[in-house]
């Protein structure tokens, strides 16, 4: 008993209360994201939905690269003279300036088209995650304006960063050439090059984190409120300033989960792609042996080139199909994770998520 005649109570650990009721921590967001992903993909299982989601996630970067698909044309039992063929292609292009311009324009158009499709399909995936259904055509038409806004922002931001980095590198190289001519020590140039390399890596990491946070948190807010990207980023910035530790932990945990999903997909893809590449090699060898059995030899002509292109196209299509199907559940889960995390902090987005939830989970 103390001096006042009261029995002292034992010390207890009292957890700190959340700043807002109903707000999910990064760890607490894992479970609802898992449940909603299972509901979208398996409850019920619809093959058409799986195929559509796989195509969408393929444009978003679904699938995991693997060392299992490390075969090349040199492994085939024929000699296609790849160095000579590439040299002839370069020689023809070098002799025709119009071909160089055409190749540059087509490559730039292809890259921009893929980036634009990625931006719009990111909103399509968010729509599927929130509404637990997917209608690519209808979602594309209704969300292409938001996707265009994201595309222009991404193009401007990345273009500005690339321009600044290129400008700094050009200025530094000129300084290095003048410093070498002036007789400055070699360690000055080495230090400058190392500093530039570290800066480029750091900027690349910041760009990757920014794009990831935009996909995970900002795009769902743009979808829920039909607001612009800067306005959505302003909301995320204000929320993160109130609780910076939670958002930092979210970034770390999100990349850890992404790494775990990539490793799991790698274990699934390795035997599949190994069998696919081995089957392609065996098929090519059997074709060559069958031709030699009947007294024919493989030679490159318009017909065989066409057949080779068709076979390579089919193999590439099967490869991308496998990558997209295996990587799609991970993409859906990561998007669900970001939506559930930010929805608990934004009432408009949380209302949309609750509207599509089963009756027994609505509160």
Burial group, residue 140, by CB count within 10 angstroms (0-12, 13-18, 19+): middle
Closest Cα partner for 80 from 313, 298, 314? Answer: 298
Question: What share of the chain in percent tops pLDDT 90?
Answer: 21
Alpha-carbon distance 255 to 260, whole Å? 9
Q: Is 189 exposed, middle or buried (0-12, 13-18, 19+ CB in 10 A)?
A: middle
pLDDT digits (tens, 9 = 90+) for 79-129: 445 566 566 666 666 666 677 778 778 888 888 998 999 999 999 999 999
Report whether pLDDT(9) > 70. Answer: no
- Residue 243, class by beta-carbon neighbours within 10 Å (0-12 exposed, 13-18 middle, 19+ buried)? middle
> Has residue 16 got a pLDDT over 90?
no
- Average the pLDDT over each of 45-59, 97-111, 166-180 and give the range with the smallest value: 166-180
| CB proximity list for 68: less than 8 A, separation 6 or greater | 269, 270, 271, 272, 273, 274, 277
Q: Indicate the pLDDT class of residue 197, thresholds 50, 70 and 90.
A: confident
From the number of C-beta atoms within 10 Å of its C-beta (0-12, 13-18, 19+), residue 76 rates as middle
Q: Tell whether the model's pLDDT for residue 49 goes beyond 60.
A: yes
Residue given tokens 């158009």 in the structure block:
109
Q: How many CA atoms lie within 13 A of 152 on its CB side?
A: 8
pLDDT of amino acid 82: 52
pLDDT for 72 beyond 70: no
Looking at residue 74, its pLDDT comes to 43
What is the pLDDT at residue 13?
33
pLDDT of 153 above 80: yes
Q: Model pTM?
A: 0.74
pLDDT tens for 310-346 read 877 787 777 777 777 888 888 899 999 999 999 988 8
Give the 3-state secondary structure of the chain: CCCCCCCCCCCCCCCCCCCCCCCCCCCCCHHHHHHHHHHHHHCCCCHHHHHHHHHHHHHCCCCCCCHHHCCCHHHCCCCCCHHHHHHHHHHHHHCCHHHHHHHHHHHHHHHHHHHHHHHHHHHHHHHHHHHCCCCHHHHHHHHHHHHHHHHHHHHHHHHHHHHHHHHHHHHHHHHHHHHHHHCCCHHHHHHHHHHHHHHHHHHHHHHHHHHHHHHHHHHHHHHHHCCCHHHHHHHHHHHHHHCHHHHHHHHHHHHHHHHHHHHHHHHHHHHHHHHHHHHHHHHHHHHHHHHHHCCCCCCCCHHHHHHHHHHHHHHHHHHHHHHHHHHHHHHHHHHHHHHHHHHCCCHHHHHHHHHHCCHHHCC
Nearest-angstrom CA–CA distance, 232 and 107 = 32
Average pLDDT on 166-179 reads 75
User: Band of the pLDDT at 285, cuts 50, 70, 90?
Assistant: confident
Share the mean pLDDT of the chain.
78
Cα separation, 362 vs 355, in Å, equals: 8
In this prediction, residues 133-143 reach a mean pLDDT of 88
């Amino acid at each position: 008993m103390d001096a006042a005649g009261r029995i002292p109570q034992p010390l207890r650990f009292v957890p700190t209360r959340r700043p807002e009721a109903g707000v999910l921590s990064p760890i607490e967001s894992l479970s609802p994201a898992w449940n909603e992903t299972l509901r979208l993909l398996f409850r019920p299982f619809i093959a058409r939905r799986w195929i559509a989601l796989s195509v969408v996630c393929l444009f978003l970067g679904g699938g995991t690269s693997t060392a299992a698909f490390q075969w090349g044309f040199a492994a085939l039992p024929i000699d296609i003279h790849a160095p000579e063929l590439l040299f002839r292609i370069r020689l023809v292009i070098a002799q025709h300036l119009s071909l160089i311009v055409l190749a540059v324009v087509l490559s730039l158009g292809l890259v921009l088209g893929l980036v634009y499709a990625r931006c719009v399909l990111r909103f399509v995936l968010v729509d599927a995650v929130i509404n637990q259904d997917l209608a690519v055509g209808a979602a594309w038409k209704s969300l292409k304006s938001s996707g265009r806004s994201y595309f222009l922002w991404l193009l401007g931001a990345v273009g500005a960063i690339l321009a600044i980095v290129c400008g700094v590198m050009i200025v530094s190289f000129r300084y290095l050439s003048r410093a070498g001519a002036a007789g400055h020590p070699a360690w000055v140039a080495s230090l400058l090059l190392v500093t530039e390399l570290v800066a480029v890596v750091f900027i690349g990491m910041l760009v990757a984190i920014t794009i990831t946070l935009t996909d995970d948190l900002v795009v769902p807010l743009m979808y829920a409120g039909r607001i612009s990207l800067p306005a959505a980023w302003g909301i995320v910035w204000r929320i993160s300033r109130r609780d910076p530790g939670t958002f930092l932990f979210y970034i770390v945990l999100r990349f850890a989960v992404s790494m775990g999903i990539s490793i799991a997909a790698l274990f699934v893809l390795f035997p599949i792609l190994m069998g696919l590449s081995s089957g392609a090699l065996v098929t090519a060898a059997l074709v060559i042996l069958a031709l030699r059995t009947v007294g024919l030899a493989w030679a490159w002509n318009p017909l065989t080139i066409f057949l080779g292109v068709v076979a390579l196209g089919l193999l590439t299509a099967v490869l991308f199909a496998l990558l997209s199907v295996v990587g799609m559940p991970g993409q859906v889960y990561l998007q669900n994770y970001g939506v559930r995390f930010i929805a608990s902090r934004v009432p408009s987005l949380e209302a949309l998520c609750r509207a599509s939830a089963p009756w027994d989970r609505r509160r």
